[in-house]
Structures are given as structure tokens and as C-alpha cells.
Structure 1
Amino acid sequence: MKKRCLIVDDIPEYTHTLEFYLEEHFIMDKAYSYEDAVKLLENNRYDLVITDVRLKETDGNKEGLKIVEIAKNKNIPAIVISGYRNLGYAVEAISKGADYFIEKPIDIDEFIKIVEKISKNM
């Protein structure tokens, strides 16, 4: 049986790209906002959450890290992605419970290896 994955990013191109590489192994759900992600997390069981740090183009917005906390409270592995080269984001993501932090643009080979590693522990 396929596992279920939630991808959260306010840029649809990123969610579609990740879905393309993961749909063979996961049932995929996508959310483009914090609010939509929370609704999906409340109403579905996920095996993996992948979220961007910032979901809106506002200064200091880190709604993705709140999603990580929700995932961790439900014992769901989480991968955080970010287009901002900010070590502070990486440290904060890991401290909130993220299993991995990956910078955009995503190295797909590295990303797939990380997902496979997480999948083996599910």
C-alpha cells in the first residue's frame, strides 16, 4: 500500500515538481497555504510532510515551521525546504523537529535519497 505525503509550498511549480518525483511511491496531497495544510493535517493521516519555511512573501513569515511542529506532534517525519540561504532557518527547522532541511533549488538525487531513507523507517 502506498504511503501518504503532504507537500506544502506557496509556489505551485515546486509542489508539482516534487509530486512528479514522489507520486510513484506516495499518494500525494498538496497545500499552498498554512491554513490549507492545517486542514489537511487535521483530516488525514500522513506518513511524510514536506514544507517550505515561508509560505507568503512577508518579512519573517515562517508558517512552514508551525507545520513542522504539527507534524511532529502527530509523529510524522518532516522535511523543510527553503529558497532562502539562511542558516538560522535550518537551525530553527531542526530545533522544531524537522528531520531534514534542504535548500532550493533542490538537488533531486539528494532529495530522493533523503525520502528513501525516511521511508525505510516508516
Structure 2
Amino acid sequence: MKKKILIVDDDPRNIFALKLTLKARGYAVETCTTAQEAFDILGSGHHFSVVLMDMMMPGIDGYEAVRIIRNTPEIKNIPVIAVTAQAMPEDRQKCMEVGADEYVSKPIDVDLLITTIEKFS
């Protein structure tokens, strides 16, 4: 069975590029543009292998979204990979502290992303 990935990003260009790349590699992909949509999708009983969470979004940002996922019993065990343009060492630390399982900085290195996703199979 191919892995199903949820991309959460407020920028349609990022979603488009990531979705195209991941589908070309054989992944099933769903997308949404807000954290609230992500909670609704994750809570609807669909099984996801990994969530790619943009950390800089309006409203509920990725940091808060990861905290909420980790505190929601039905979805707390879904692996979350933080995806952010903030690439300083302390940014990675901040992502891990809120409960992200891994961290990938933008611009995304596709091979690194695929390797990271594959850790969670």
C-alpha cells in the first residue's frame, strides 16, 4: 500500500510543487491550507503515514497545530514533519520541542524529504 501524506501549507505554490513531487514518487497526497482543515481531515478517520506541516501560517501556526495534534488522542501518534523557511538551529529545536518528529527546511531538498518520510513507514 502506498503511503498517504497530508500537506498543510497556506501557500498554494508550495502545495502544488510538493504534491507534484510526491505523487511522482508514488505517494498518495491530500492537501489543505489551514491547521483547522488539517484537524478535520486527520480526525475523519483517514489513515495518514505522515503530515508535512508548514510552520509559518496565519491563524493557527504550525507550532500550535503540532501541539494540538500531540494533545488529541485520536491523532497524536501521526508522525509530523515540520517544514519551514526558518533554517536556524534554534528553529529546528523549537519544532522538535512542540512535538514534531522531524524537520525539513525550505527550499526543500527532495531527496532529504523522501528519506525523512521513509523513516516513518
The TM-score range, normalised by the shorter chain, is: 0.7 to 0.9
The equivalent residue for 2:26 is 25
Equivalent-residue separation in structure 1 for 2:68 and 2:37 (angstroms): 13
Q: Find the partner of 1:66 among 64, 67, 83.
A: 64
Report whether the alignment pairs 1:85 with 2:87.
Answer: yes
In structure 2, do the counterparts of structure 1 residues 64 and 54 end up closer, same or farther at CA, with 3 Å as the change threshold? same
Deviates more, 1:26-35 or 1:65-74: 65-74
Whose helix fraction is larger, Structure 1's or Structure 2's?
1
The equivalent residue for 1:15 is 15
The equivalent residue for 1:2 is 2
1:53/1:82 contact within 8 Å kept: yes
Q: By how many angstroms is 1:33 displaced?
A: 1.1
Equivalent-residue separation in structure 2 for 1:105 and 1:39 (angstroms): 28
RMSD: 2.0
Give the alignment's TM-score, normalised by structure 1. 0.80
Large movers: runs of 4+ above 6 Å: none
Report whether the alignment pairs 1:42 with 2:43.
Answer: yes
Q: Which letter maps to 1:115?
A: I
In the alignment, structure 1 segments of 5+ residues that lack a partner are none
Give the alignment's TM-score, normalised by structure 2. 0.80
